[in-house]
């Protein structure tokens, strides 16, 4: 039979195998995937431009919204960049509480990803369990911050409200409800023979190649490289907490799954250490920043000229925010660097080029990379 030409099909954005609001153009030869091209832009809202048209402290409301699944780490990145520009340091209590909130966000993001991963592999029982565990964290968020998904709890200079009186008990109770479910998922899903057969040896990105492909986060750590911004360049309260960086050895899809599960345990460890250090009666949780103008003037009394930069370890990798101020009430420029873009472009291309993968493997590889389409589009 004559060699046929590759056939192009669209995967997504409404396909259960697609990670959300992105599509792929997939070229197939029979069942084999020859090439996959990312089609982003379905969720482009122009955050960088929108942020230029709002006040410094108002942009906090926009900053979590470019990644639905892991809002607080991105909020923290923006807040840290603004603090860097204005030369303000948040009080110790605010730093600790922000770290707890960011770690909770990491746990809920990984649980959300577990739902996708279970869906992609056809393990229909996992989404229900993972979302039930995530719900406990969302309830905790509602109790502490007042909202479930986008919290707007941080602000340049601290946190917006004091923590509730029974913060420690509520936090530990939420963790104690989540962790047994994570353990069950680990037993029933991660060590499951079917999942191992479908994920082991697939989507291998190993060693230094991951650095060259610009991958960060769990994908990089599963490749065997011990890199975590929380350890390399500690921010907030990560300096004085004791935790490990889980790494993989093979760099395949299964390693990435295991690394994320182990990260949930490490996040729990961080929260348990930090929760002892915050006291609700301590009222020093917010420093007044020179942001608000007196009501009679349309511009602030103090404005900054310069730039601020921050980077944080979000659930999907390194997020960076660069802000430029020109003595104005509003930022001159906000540049967001988010972790998901390389995962679906360079890493995906590398995997497809170096491996024989079929159309059935594609959703598993995409989900194991855990991209967040909103932060690609912004």
Partner 1 sequence: MALKALLLGMKYLFRKPYTMLVPEKEPPMTTERTRGRHLLDMSKCVGCRMCQMVCPADAIKMYKVEGDFKRNPKKIFPGIDFNRCTFCALCVEVCPTGALSMTDITGWYMTTTDTRTNLRSPYDLAAELAKNEKPDFRITITKQTFLYQTKKKG
Name the minimum Å distance from CB 115 to partner 1. 13
CA distance 177 to 6: 49
- Told to check if 8 binds partner 1 by CB under 8 A, we report no
Considering only residues 27, 91, 127, 192, which one is a binding residue for partner 1 as defined by CB under 8 A? Answer: 192
Site for partner 1 in 240-299 (CB under 8 A): 292, 295
Smallest CA-to-CA distance from 286 within 89, 96, 91, 60 is with 91
DSSP state of 164: P
CA 82 to chain CA centroid, Å, is 20
Smallest CA-to-CA distance from 11 within 376, 372, 361 is with 361
In the complex with partner 1, which residue's Cβ is closer, 257 or 362? Answer: 257
- Told to check if 189 binds partner 1 by CB under 8 A, we report yes
Considering only residues 99, 105, 145, 368, which one is a binding residue for partner 1 as defined by CB under 8 A? Answer: 145
CA distance 43 to 55: 23
Six-digit token pair at 50?
């929108």
Q: Name residues whose C-beta falls within 8 Å of residue 250's C-beta, 6 or more positions apart in sequence.
A: 200, 201, 204, 206, 222
Name the minimum Å distance from CB 298 to partner 1. 9
Tell me the residue length of the chain: 378
- Told to check if 27 binds partner 1 by CB under 8 A, we report no
- Told to check if 55 binds partner 1 by CB under 8 A, we report yes
Name the minimum Å distance from CB 212 to partner 1. 37
- Told to check if 184 binds partner 1 by CB under 8 A, we report yes
Considering only residues 37, 48, 57, 272, which one is a binding residue for partner 1 as defined by CB under 8 A? Answer: 57
What distances in angstroms separate CA 39 from CA 25, 68, 184, one per listed residue?
7, 19, 36
Number of residues in contact with partner 1, rule: CB under 8 A? 33
- Told to check if 132 binds partner 1 by CB under 8 A, we report yes
CA distance 249 to 89: 39
- Told to check if 187 binds partner 1 by CB under 8 A, we report yes
Burial class (CB in 10 A: 0-12, 13-18, 19+), 80: buried
Stretch that binds partner 1, among 38-46, 188-196, 228-236, 370-378 (CB under 8 A): 188-196
In the complex with partner 1, which residue's Cβ is closer, 155 or 310? Answer: 155
For residues 205 to 244, the per-residue mask of contacts with partner 1, x marking binding by CB under 8 A and - elsewhere, is ----------------------------------------
Smallest CA-to-CA distance from 247 within 215, 218, 210 is with 218
User: Where do contacts with partner 1 occur on this chain (CB under 8 A)?
Assistant: 54-55, 57-59, 61-62, 125, 128-129, 132, 135, 139, 142-147, 150, 152, 160-161, 164, 184, 187-189, 191-193, 292, 295
């Amino acid at each position: 039979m004559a060699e046929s030409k590759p056939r192009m099909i669209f995967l997504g954005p409404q396909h259960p195998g697609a990670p959300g609001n992105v599509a792929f153009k997939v070229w197939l030869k029979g069942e084999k995937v020859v090439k996959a091209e990312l089609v982003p832009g379905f969720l482009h809202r122009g955050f960088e431009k929108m942020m230029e048209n709002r006040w410094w402290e108002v942009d906090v409301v926009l900053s979590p919204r470019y990644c639905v699944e892991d809002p607080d780490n991105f909020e923290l990145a923006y807040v840290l960049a603004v603090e860097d520009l204005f030369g303000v340091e948040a009080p110790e209590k605010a730093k600790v509480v922000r770290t707890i909130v960011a770690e909770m966000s990491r746990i809920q993001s990984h649980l959300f990803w577990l739902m996708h991963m279970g869906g992609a592999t056809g393990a229909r029982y996992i989404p229900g369990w993972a979302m039930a565990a995530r719900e406990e964290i969302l309830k905790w968020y509602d109790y502490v911050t007042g909202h479930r998904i986008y919290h707007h709890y941080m602000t340049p200079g601290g946190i917006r409200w004091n923590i509730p009186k029974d913060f420690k008990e509520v936090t530990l109770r939420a963790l104690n409800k989540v962790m047994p479910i994570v353990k069950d998922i680990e037993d029933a899903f991660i060590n499951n023979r079917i999942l191992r057969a479908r994920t082991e040896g697939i989507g291998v990105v190993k060693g230094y190649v991951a650095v060259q492909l610009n991958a960060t986060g769990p994908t990089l750590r599963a490749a065997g490289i011990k890199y975590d911004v929380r350890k390399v360049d500690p921010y907030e309260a990560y300096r004085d907490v004791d935790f490990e960086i889980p790494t993989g050895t093979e760099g395949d899809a299964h390693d990435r799954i295991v690394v994320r599960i182990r990260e949930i345990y490490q996040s729990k460890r961080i929260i348990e250490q930090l929760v002892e250090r915050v006291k609700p009666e301590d009222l020093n949780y917010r420093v007044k920043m020179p942001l608000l103008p007196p009501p009679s003037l349309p511009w602030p009394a103090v404005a900054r000229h310069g730039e601020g930069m921050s980077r944080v370890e979000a659930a999907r990798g390194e997020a960076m925010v660069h802000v430029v101020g020109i003595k104005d009430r509003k930022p001159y420029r906000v540049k967001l660097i988010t972790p998901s873009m390389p995962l679906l472009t360079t890493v995906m291309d590398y995997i497809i080029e170096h491996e024989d993968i079929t159309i059935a493997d594609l959703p598993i590889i995409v989900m194991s990379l855990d991209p967040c389409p909103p932060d690609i589009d912004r």
